[in-house]
Structure 1
Amino acid sequence: MTFFNATLILGTLAAVVPIALHLLARREPQRVVFPGVRFLRPKLSSQRSRLRIRRWWLLALRVLAVIALAVALARPHIDSSLSSTWWTVGLMGLTGVGFLILASVAVARGMGRSLAIGVAVAGLLALVGSLFLGTRTWATSGDLSEGNEQPVAMALLIDNGPSSKRLISSSDGTNSSRLENAIGEAATVIERLPEGSRLVVLDRSATPIGFALDAASARLRLSQMKPLANPLPVQERMDAAIELLRSSDLPGKQLVVVSDWNAASWKPSAQTPAMQPEDVAISMLQVDASVDGNFDASAERLINRFLSPPKLIDAASAPGVSIPISVSVGMESSSASEGQSINVTVQLSLYERDPSLPVIRDGELVLPRLRGVDRASATVVAGADAELVLTLPPLDLGTHHAVVELVGDDAFGWDDRRFLTLNIPVPPRVLLVGENADERNRLGHGLTAPIAPDEDGAGFRVAGVTYSDLSAVDWQLIDAVAMIDPPIQIDAASQSVVSGSGLTQSTVDQLVELARRGGGVVMMLGPSTEVLGVASPNNQAGSDGTNRLLPDLVRSWRVPEPGRFLEERLPMHPILRPLTSLDDQPSWSAFRVNRYWQSEPNATAGWQTVVRYAGTQHPAVVARTIAPDDANNQPGRVAVLTTPLPALSKKTRSWNQLFTAADAWPAFVIWRGLMQWATGVSDQATTVLVGATAVVPEKDAANQLRRAIDAVEATADATTESSVRLYPPMAEGNEIDGEPTIREVNVADRDGVFSETNEVGTTFLRGPDYWGGYSTNLDPVWSRDERVTESEMDQRFGAEQWVPSDSGEQLSIQGRVGGSPPVSLHGPMMLLAVIVFLAEQLLSNRFYRTSGEAA
């Protein structure tokens, strides 16, 4: 045990004062009759007994009250590792006092003398044991310091992740963000640092760190911190801080992390090993513990409503057609909001496509006009999200930016506004080849639904021919081709095409050439495909397969009833993206496949199994890219289905039930995903989460169509420099967050790829013959204000390697290496002094009643 104000221990000498007062206190005056000399002897006897102590418990309480107050003012501290020992000392002392009280009661009530003596002896033994153990522990324990007596090397890490932007309400009705509270607590810690300490202040940005020159520069660093939408991992910043602390020659090293313990930042994972730096003390200062009811219980917790990132219901948006958008709205669930419901209004706004904007005018960023185009309302219950569908009006070719926002304010603003960027491309030209006209029409309508393929506004330009008409096709006008049950003969030994009545080697070469100039080829194998000879899986006789449209085929596989069903192998592949983005996932067991081609795709040739048949390793959908023959072209795409679509003719009907089941929407979605991938429509990622990579069109679709119409202008524009200006997102309140960083970028040189997605909002790209951009949204995980527990923190740091704290005032600044942090006994000693004082008042009123009350 150590006393941080040891000189005040001398105050225990004041314990002699109540003893002296007790001995010298005047007795209450009594009426004495003095008739004769016979009363002189008793009077003298009474005067001699006046100095005797009669009320021992009252005296003991007065002495104990003075001692407890003096010890509390001396601010005793104990080593946390010895806390159990000191608790034992205290319990033994209380036991001894209890036995002495029982002994005094036994004497007062005239109980047996032996009982009183035995109880008194037990009490004295307990007190002596408590005194011995306490003295021994005190003598053997090392010295403690309060922490502000020895200089330390300290790193203050401020967790300024997205959750630090949340507002919290105090009891006086004012609102402040968690980051503001964290900065205030960090400033308190800086004020308490001892002279000669070294300090570094850092956050979760990539800013290089170093020790501050003085406290003023550290406070300046604090004042410049802002919430980050895409922060670095906490572990990475802690590692950097620990490495810097180890470079200091001060013996005491401490890392203080000021955080709200949000689960999105702190939840341990299998990839996060526990940190156990033995030479650096780790302290966790938690701000806003109101979720657990431990922080400002009188304050009302602010409600947080949130929006999910918007999703296009149809990825292949077409010009001149209304575009539906799906978005979910919800309210954060907590003990305070359980069962609560609110009415919310969601508004959809659209930026006007203005090639002259954005622009900097008089130092201010001027954006295109934002106009509302749709609005919807819903009643939201805490913990249950509601889905809304908003509609964009028919749009022209090119890139368009929209904003979905909740009307009104709440605790967290970053999930109240969601941003959307979509591109309306020139409709790709798709050729459907098949012998059955009904099958071609069915696939064509499925590709352009809900409108017909020949109507204006269709997302694809669809044409259909039979295999006998392929010789008249101008392949330069085709972006992708889909072959329904192609009549192709394959040599089993070499896996090469054998000329016959179906597809010739010349036609196959034209398809390969289409893929090499960036086109797409989709083959849906059926009964018309033939394998001649005996197939050998993983055949090494032929080439490596890089020039072939088909993987190695083995044989036609007939499945007994009830048949196989599909199983997603690569759910994140672009072919399946339209399917996996839906809230309702299909039950594939309702769509049986009775026959398919067994294939052995060669991984070295780039084949990927996207979908397979459940219970087997047989591929159902395989896909690969083909390297272009010109550096200016995009890679080509080839996809193969080992069972035919739509399987409506007499020859193919028995192969599967993908299109003939009661509700065949999954097959339609798979079909659209295939063609969107084959034509490159699904390649673009213009609406992403912060930190993800955005992919924008390399050319403006509006200018692309204009060039196609005017060939002369197209020739002139071919040499136009595609350098554009990049306008980053603006801060909330339509104000630029600091100086606008407008940069010149080249979209073509980047292949349309942008990794600058660290800010929430819409990034505009504007230049000659180009108007586009991309949008970034905050990850929905930040809308759920979940916290990690102390046990989860133990997983990350080790149970003995970190110390929690709720405020900068209570944080223990450890100016030493190793050992355990000091634990203050100031509060318990003050409480003991108050209890003893109250007990003394009660006993004094009992013993010193007035004569009238005694009568």
Structure 2
Amino acid sequence: MQLANLSLLVGGLLIGVPILLHLVMRQQPKRIEFPALRFVRARQVQNQRRLELKHWILLLLRCCIILLLALALARPSVSSASVSSWVMVGILAFGAAIAGIIAAATWTVGASRGLAIGMTGLAVALLIGLGIVTPMALSAGGGGSLGDQEAPVSAVFVFDTSPRLLYQHENQTRLEKAQEMAVWLTGQLPPESEVAVADRRTGASIFAADIGAARQAIQRLEVSAGGESIDRVVSQAIDLADSSEKKRKEIYVFTDLSEPAWKGAAQSDLKRKLADHPDYPLYLIDVSAVDVRNTAVADLQLSADSVSKNSDVLLQVDVAHDGPEASQTLELYLEQPDDTLPIVEDGKLLLPKADRRDRRNLQLADGETMSVQFRLADLPVGVHNGWVSLAAVDGLDADDKRWFTLEVREPWPLLIVESKPGAGRDLINAIAPPAFQESGRAPFAVDVVTPDTLERQELDGYRGVVLIDPGAYTNSVWRKLDAYVERGGGLAIFLGPSATPALAQLNAEEPQKLLPGKLARQWRAGERLWYLEPKDYQHSLLAPFREIGDSVPWRSFPIDRHWSLEDLEPDANVVIPYSDGMPTLIEQRVGEGLVLTFTTSIASDESPAWNNLFTGFDSWPFFVLSNQMARYVVRSGEERLNYFVGERASLLTGPQQAEQTHLLFTPRGGDPQEVIPDRGLILIPFTDQIGTYRLRPLGGGPLLGFSVNLPPFATQLSPLPPEELNEIFGAERYQLAKEQSEIEREQGKARVGREFYSPLILLVALMLAMEFALSQRFYRQEA
């Protein structure tokens, strides 16, 4: 326990004053000459004992008052919440004990009934308070460090270094404001303290060698687009403080307290960890600006990262605004194709020239988010880079621009194998309509063959193969298909009536390398209603249906017949089941490739019809699903060209560049890095810079690239509601400060700890009232 005024404890020696007064001023019984009657003598002894008991009660009260007053003036305190609870238990227990003794004495000495009842009631009230506080102390646990304002501390400074902290207010960024306050704070720490500096990029690692080194680390802080979430860094800071040998620990978090900074923090274990360390004060230093005025290009989405030639690309841009109503201009830029760039000359990165393709004038209100759509058309084949930016400058430059990359390519080559002529007509009309093929806008270049010619067909030139109603293929055909999939090809199998006479062949060894299980039997619905019934829409195949979910009218397209499979492979994944629970669409990885198996027929002019998937009224659900399946088979979804910061990027090279070294140019420039593909795949694990990354193969070849942006609305500056702070940290588990004076006040409270001056003075006042009431009653009776 810490005592703020240790010398005042000497005042406890004044306890001798009431003892001395008691000895000097105690009354001697008067000797009265009277007949020696036994009754009178007994009465005299009884009165004398009562008088002595009264004086002993008053003596006890006066001694306790002096002791408690001296202790209160010494201002005792502790820094541990658990210890403070037990100290309060002790104070209440002491008060209840004194009140109980006096209550018992008032009944013994024959005091007035009202006085005795009042003292008894006071004792009971203190006992009830003791019963309330004791369980709280037991639940708080035990142990804690002693408060000492001048004792050295282990302080961990945590900085939110996201791009939001570049917001300018009063000619100072929020990061500069945080650095200024942190440097000042290092001067407020007691001598021999130690400081660790942590941010989203480096995390919490070690304590600095001294305060000077800590100040240098603070001044060297820079904004980082990537890194750990701020709640995880705070959790690491607690672990780092645990490793220190100093008894007092303090955590300081410098943040703008905006919503994106703590998104998802309520679901982390930070609140639990803080509850496990009740003696570690947590200070939230709010460095946000008071009057926010900012316009942000909050999000950008492409209709597709990769499109076939002669197709249009739509850009959906969200612009968010905070502050008074303002006008802004949004501009779209696209780089000119140039196979000779980028290069580095004299340490400077040279990029292709960019042309402004479109611009929009916007009128924005406070808190409004406006969606703007741009269209890019007539783009040549190749990779294209561009950006969307605001023309006017505002308080935060980091969110005034968003980059994008898209690829225009030749249609994906797709081979369709028909069991009979025209069987794949409905599928072809869905994925590559003839009108689109004639205009060059079809996403697939479709070739159609029969099973007889499949054995002679070269497959390596195709991105995917589709088998419609396969039957008794030869083993050599199945081996050829298996080798194609093993090398990374995609295969889609639509089972139909031709499987019935070829059931034994399809369940043989070679076909079973590609099929997810053995064909069991053909089922018929009869009077029952069967239809496709996805359980959820998390698979990328079902992404277009996620927003509408259960409102997709699958029941309107009944299934009359389908195949069932048994002994499914362990790695087979049922993407869509029927309403009867049996699998409809099954995905399976085979080697480097994949196989999709659909267990009902899509062959045209099937008699009798197996389903109404293509023939039902307004059959758009299966039209969308068949396009998704075709894209999934050719792996178009894997050609992602736009990422969020921190994500791992992957790119597919051309066949001639599958093992060719590429030069990687990052958005910040500098010397390019050499990257070697792994069987045509380039992985970029670190994307901590926002902007466009470019790859140029050594020796020539098509340029590659991708863009990295902040997550949508990552620079939103709206403050976090107070109730969410309680959800993240726990109520009364943190101290919020914005100015230096608030930090000093909260520091003082924490370092001195919890003081017991108030409850001790209250107890002194209570005992003074008891002493006054008893002395008035006792002395009046003596008189």
TM-score when normalising by structure 1: 0.65
1:329 and 2:318 aligned: yes
1:649 and 2:605 aligned: yes
User: Quick one: distance in 1 between partners of 2:400 and 2:498?
Assistant: 55
Cα displacement string for residues 589-641 of structure 1 (whole angstroms, at most 9, x for unaligned residues)? 36423234243475645321122234x432221111211xxxxxxx2221111
Structural mapping, 1:257-336, within 5 Å: 257-266=253-262, 267-272=264-269, 274-275=272-273, 276-278=275-277, 280-288=279-287, 299-311=290-302, 313-314=303-304, 316-319=306-309, 321-331=310-320
Structural mapping, 1:455-604, within 5 Å: 455-456=439-440, 458-467=442-451, 470=454, 473-486=457-470, 488=471, 499=472, 503-530=473-500, 547-559=513-525, 563-569=529-535, 571-577=537-543, 580=546, 587-589=552-554, 591-600=556-565, 604=569
| Matching residue of 1:424 | 408
Q: 1:159 to 1:664 in 2, by over 3 A?
A: same
| Matching residue of 1:108 | none
Contact 1:279 1:818 in 2 (8 A): no
Q: 1:446 to 1:165 in 2, by over 3 A?
A: farther
Contact 1:4 1:146 in 2 (8 A): no
Contact 2:645 2:688 in 1 (8 A): yes
Local SS of the residue matching 1:196: coil
| Matching residue of 1:678 | 633
Tell me by how many angstroms 1:754 deviates: 1.4
Q: 1:613 to 1:182 in 2, by over 3 A?
A: farther
Local SS of the residue matching 1:780: coil
Contact 1:332 1:382 in 2 (8 A): yes
Q: Where does structure 2 lack aligned partners over 5 or more consecutive residues?
A: 8-72, 89-144, 759-783
1:745 and 2:746 aligned: no
Which residue of 646, 649, 667 corresponds with 1:691?
Answer: 646
Tell me by how many angstroms 1:156 deviates: 0.9
Q: 1:473 to 1:533 in 2, by over 3 A?
A: closer
User: Quick one: distance in 1 between partners of 2:229 and 2:684?
Assistant: 21
Contact 1:621 1:639 in 2 (8 A): yes
1:617 and 2:581 aligned: yes
Q: 1:332 to 1:483 in 2, by over 3 A?
A: same
Cα displacement string for residues 259-294 of structure 1 (whole angstroms, at most 9, x for unaligned residues)? 22334443434452511343752322241566xxxx
Contact 2:518 2:568 in 1 (8 A): no
Tell me by how many angstroms 1:157 deviates: 1.0
User: Quick one: distance in 2 between partners of 1:201 and 1:567?
Assistant: 54
| Matching residue of 2:664 | 726
Q: 1:778 to 1:605 in 2, by over 3 A?
A: same
| Matching residue of 1:640 | 597
Q: 1:375 to 1:583 in 2, by over 3 A?
A: farther
1:757 and 2:687 aligned: yes
Cα displacement string for residues 148-177 of structure 1 (whole angstroms, at most 9, x for unaligned residues)? 63322211111223443444x4xxxx3543
| Matching residue of 2:572 | 607
1:156 and 2:157 aligned: yes
1:665 and 2:635 aligned: no
Local SS of the residue matching 2:151: coil
Contact 2:495 2:563 in 1 (8 A): no
Contact 1:252 1:816 in 2 (8 A): no
Tell me by how many angstroms 1:696 deviates: 0.8
User: Quick one: distance in 2 between partners of 1:822 and 1:353?
Assistant: 72
Which residue of 693, 696, 701 corresponds with 1:766?
Answer: 696
Tell me by how many angstroms 1:373 deviates: 2.3
Q: 1:357 to 1:504 in 2, by over 3 A?
A: same
1:251 and 2:247 aligned: yes
2:515 maps to amino acid? L
Cα displacement string for residues 761-800 of structure 1 (whole angstroms, at most 9, x for unaligned residues)? 1111123224212211211152544554555444444445
User: Quick one: distance in 2 between partners of 1:208 and 1:238?
Assistant: 8
Q: 1:246 to 1:519 in 2, by over 3 A?
A: closer
Which residue of 371, 374, 385 corresponds with 1:390?
Answer: 374
Tell me by how many angstroms 1:810 deviates: 1.9
Cα displacement string for residues 330-385 of structure 1 (whole angstroms, at most 9, x for unaligned residues)? 4257xxx6xx8766543322223323222222222222212222334566666665
Q: 1:602 to 1:177 in 2, by over 3 A?
A: farther
Of Structure 1 and Structure 2, the greater helix share is in 2
Contact 1:325 1:390 in 2 (8 A): yes
| Matching residue of 2:710 | 778
1:301 maps to amino acid? V
Contact 1:146 1:814 in 2 (8 A): no
| Matching residue of 1:223 | 219
Q: 1:775 to 1:196 in 2, by over 3 A?
A: same
User: Quick one: distance in 2 between partners of 1:801 and 1:544?
Assistant: 65
1:186 and 2:142 aligned: no
1:153 maps to amino acid? S
Local SS of the residue matching 2:611: coil
Tell me by how many angstroms 1:511 deviates: 2.6
Q: Where does structure 1 lack aligned partners over 5 or more consecutive residues?
A: 8-73, 86-143, 291-298, 489-498, 628-634, 705-713, 731-735, 826-855
Structural mapping, 1:406-417, within 5 Å: 406-417=390-401
| Matching residue of 2:775 | none
Deviates more, 1:804-813 or 1:348-357: 804-813
User: Quick one: distance in 2 between partners of 1:725 and 1:597?
Assistant: 52
| Matching residue of 1:36 | none
| Matching residue of 2:17 | none
User: Quick one: distance in 2 between partners of 1:398 and 1:453?
Assistant: 20
CA RMSD of aligned residues (A): 4.6
2:559 maps to amino acid? N
Local SS of the residue matching 2:265: coil
Deviates more, 1:584-593 or 1:683-692: 584-593
User: Quick one: distance in 2 between partners of 1:175 and 1:157?
Assistant: 23
Q: 1:307 to 1:203 in 2, by over 3 A?
A: closer
Tell me by how many angstroms 1:527 deviates: 3.3
| Matching residue of 1:802 | 734
Cα displacement string for residues 830-850 of structure 1 (whole angstroms, at most 9, x for unaligned residues)? xxxxxxxxxxxxxxxxxxxxx
Q: 1:151 to 1:542 in 2, by over 3 A?
A: same
Tell me by how many angstroms 1:387 deviates: 4.0
Contact 1:594 1:655 in 2 (8 A): yes
